[in-house]
Amino acid sequence: MAALVDDRPADRAWHLTGPRAVTFPAIAADLRVPHATVPLRFTAAALRRRRAPAPAVDHALRMAAYLAAGADGAVTDHVRRLTGAPARTIEAFLDEHRDAFAPATPLARLLSTTKAA
């Protein structure tokens, strides 16, 4: 934990993961909602409608493309090394925070009950 709150410059980047790689479809299945790939142009338009600053839109699009490509699938032991405790599974995290992932808009609620194509 000390490495996370230490004010000194870090000499490395920590890649915090769970105990195994996960995918967006697997997360959707655990949440019992359909998985759909949203084209990045629609994501950008939605963020702009919400007045997200251009750098935030750019970052969100880059991260979405990076994660969708599976580029972040490597599992590390960094959580254990930093905290001394094992990393939690994605299922445990989702169970603990399930309400935060509930569909929040009428459209999201409708889509969450629609079968994915």
pTM assigned to the model: 0.63
Q: What stretches in the chain show pLDDT beneath 50? A: 117
Q: Which residue has the tokens 């000194």?
A: 8
The pLDDT tens digits of the residues spanning 73-99 come to 889 999 998 889 999 998 999 889 988
C-alpha 66/C-alpha 62 separation (Å) is 6
C-alpha 108/C-alpha 114 separation (Å) is 10
C-alpha 78/C-alpha 56 separation (Å) is 27
- pLDDT score at 117: 46
